[in-house]
């Protein structure tokens, strides 16, 4: 049996998609569906059982889970970069992860954990995932800080040598429709282009960047699932790694890829950066991928253009938008 926490989220449900593609269905899905639309991400998937997060945690604490678990993909977390309830983030992201790590290591269960590229803050300390640089990082929001604390704890205790944590960069792709303001610009812009024929991007208020020239390391969610599956099977590879493409692209590049995939004429409108984001906006992110590549893990195979085209053709404009 495999466990996928956050299994109804974008990355978690993509992992379910990958497991199902291998005809693996003995899966326990854990999430906090509440009144959200995340349940729709599970409709196309095959799995054995679903447990709400709180019930799952009680079973972990009471040692009441099946004894034949092959591995855990821990994607469950509050991923909102605008969440302001810091105590909630500590409980849900920090304590939850520490509890599950201890459990997995005690039982000898392979664990793949989700960290985040948000731990790098404004990028002035670089994007090198080598453990020696952890102490220099200063996240810009509470979400990134909650993930950073897990990374620091895993390093301090030495536990990180026995499981994998992945710093996901700008992930986009199917099954993100429930994420509200946290949806990728790809899906937001797709709706804008359909309705208005144009898309909006933030203008730059940084002298070194032209409008739309801010850069991100965009990675397609299917490539994340492929990397996680390889890491699950290669149990001698452990540590904290970046997961991106290793190549930063501009928002203008993303916009052009989207217009091309939709067969529409390019029309970009630049709007002022919201006051709430000033001083907290990342102008450049690019995952250093040397350490993960050196492990033998396959690098992402979709270029930005290929990922956006696949997303648009088979999901955003398809009859069934879900993986």
Q: Give the active site residues.
A: 143, 179
Separation between Cα atoms, residue 138 and residue 119, nearest integer Å: 7
105-109, 140-144, 233-237, 246-250: which has the minimum mean pLDDT? Answer: 140-144
The tens digit of pLDDT for each residue in 216-268 reads 999 999 999 999 999 999 999 999 999 999 999 999 999 999 999 999 999 99
If you average pLDDT over residues 186-197, what whole number do you get? Answer: 96
Residue 76, CA atoms < 13 Å, CB-side half-sphere: 31
CA 308 to centroid of chain Cα atoms: 16
pLDDT value at residue 308: 98
pLDDT value at residue 108: 96
Q: How confident is the model at residue 84 (pLDDT cuts 50, 70, 90)?
A: confident
pLDDT value at residue 87: 93
Separation between Cα atoms, residue 199 and residue 276, nearest integer Å: 21
Looking at per-residue pLDDT, the higher value among 260 and 122 belongs to 260
Strands 27-31 and 2-5: parallel
Q: How confident is the model at residue 78 (pLDDT cuts 50, 70, 90)?
A: confident
CA 104 to centroid of chain Cα atoms: 21
Each domain of the chain, given as residue ranges in start order, spans: 2-173+218-246+284-301
Rounded to two decimals, what is the model's pTM? Answer: 0.95
Architecture of domain 2-173+218-246+284-301: 3-Layer(aba) Sandwich (3.40)
Torsion angle of C-alpha atoms 170, 81, 204, 283, degrees rounded to 10: -50
- Beta strands, E only, 55-109: 71-74
CB under 8 Å to 53, separation ≥6 — which residues? 5, 30, 31, 32, 76, 96
Q: Which long-range contacts (CB under 8 A, 24 or more apart) does 60-66 make?
A: 60/99, 60/100, 60/103, 61/99, 65/3, 65/28, 66/1, 66/28
């Amino acid at each position: 049996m495999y466990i996928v926490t956050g299994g109804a989220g974008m990355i978690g449900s993509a992992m379910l998609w990958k497991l199902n593609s291998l005809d693996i269905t003995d899966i326990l899905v854990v999430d906090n569906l509440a009144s959200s639309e995340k349940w729709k991400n599970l409709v196309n998937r095959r799995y054995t059982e679903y447990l709400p997060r709180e019930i799952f945690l009680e079973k972990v604490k009471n040692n009441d889970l099946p004894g034949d678990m092959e591995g855990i993909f821990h994607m469950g977390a509050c991923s909102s970069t605008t969440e302001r309830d810091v105590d909630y983030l500590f409980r849900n992201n920090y304590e939850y992860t520490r509890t599950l790590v201890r459990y997995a290591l005690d039982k000898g269960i392979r664990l793949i954990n989700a960290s985040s590229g948000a731990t790098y803050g404004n990028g002035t300390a670089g994007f090198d995932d080598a453990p020696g640089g952890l102490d220099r990082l200063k996240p810009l929001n509470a979400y990134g800080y909650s993930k950073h604390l897990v990374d620091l704890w895993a390093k301090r205790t030495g536990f990180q040598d026995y499981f994998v944590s992945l710093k996901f960069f700008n992930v986009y792709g199917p099954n993100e429709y429930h994420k509200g303001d946290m949806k990728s610009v790809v899906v937001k812009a797709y709706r804008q282009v359909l309705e208005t024929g144009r898309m909006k991007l933030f203008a730059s208020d940084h002298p070194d960047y032209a409008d739309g020239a801010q850069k991100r390391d965009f990675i397609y969610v299917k490539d994340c699932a492929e990397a996680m599956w390889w890491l699950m099977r290669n149990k001698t590879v452990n540590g904290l790694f970046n997961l991106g493409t290793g190549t930063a692209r501009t928002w203008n590049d993303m916009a052009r890829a989207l217009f091309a995939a939709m067969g529409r004429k390019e029309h970009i409108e630049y709007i002022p950066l919201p006051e709430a984001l000033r001083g907290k906006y990342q102008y450049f992110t690019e995952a250093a991928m040397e350490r993960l590549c050196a492990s033998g893990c396959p690098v992402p195979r979709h270029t930005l253009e290929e990922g956006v085209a696949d997303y648009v053709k088979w999901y955003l404009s398809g009859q069934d938008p879900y993986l």
